[in-house]
Structure 1
Amino acid sequence: MIAYVTVGADDIALAKRFYSAFLPALEYTLEEGPEGLSFALPVPKGRTPFLPDFYVKPTFDGHPASAGNGSMVAFEARNQNQVRDLHAAALAAGGTNEGQPGFRDAYGPQFFVGYLRDPQGNKIALFSSDPTDPARDE
Structure 2
Amino acid sequence: MLHHLSFAVTDLARSAAFYDAALTPLGYVRVWDDDEAVGYGHAGGGDKFAIKLRSEVIVPGEGFHIAFSAPTHDAIDAFHAAALAHGGEDNGGTGFHPEYGDTYYAAFIIDPDGYRIEAALHKNT
TM over 0.5, yes or no? yes
* Offset of residue 41 of structure 1: 1.6
Determine which of 52, 55, 66 is the counterpart of 2:50.
Answer: 55
CA contact (8 A) 2:104 2:122 kept: yes
Q: For 1:10-63, what per-residue CA distance to the aligned partner results, in whole angstroms no more than 9, with x for missing partners?
A: 0011101110112223232212102211112234xxxxx67x71010023xx4x
- TM-score, normalization: structure 1? 0.80
* Offset of residue 114 of structure 1: 1.0
* Cα RMSD, aligned residues only: 1.9
Aligned to 1:23: 23
Aligned to 1:3: 3
Code of the aligned partner of 2:52: K
- TM-score, normalization: structure 2? 0.87
Residues 1-138 of structure 1 aligned to structure 2 (within 5 Å): 1-30=1-30, 31-43=32-44, 53-59=48-54, 62=55, 64-69=56-61, 70-130=63-123
* % identical aligned pairs: 28
Unaligned runs of 5+ in 2: none
Structure with greater helix percent? 2
Q: For 1:73-121, what per-residue CA distance to the aligned partner results, in whole angstroms no more than 9, with x for missing partners?
A: 1111112122112101111011011011022232111101110011000
Q: Which runs of structure 1 show a deviation greater than 4 angstroms over 4 or more consecutive aligned residues?
A: none
Code of the aligned partner of 1:68: P
CA contact (8 A) 2:9 2:113 kept: yes
SS at match of 2:57: coil
Unaligned runs of 5+ in 1: 44-48, 133-138
Structure with greater strand percent? 2
User: Rg: which structure is higher?
Assistant: 1
* Offset of residue 131 of structure 1: 6.0
d(CA) in 2 for partners of 1:27, 1:102 = 19
d(CA) in 1 for partners of 2:24, 2:77 = 15
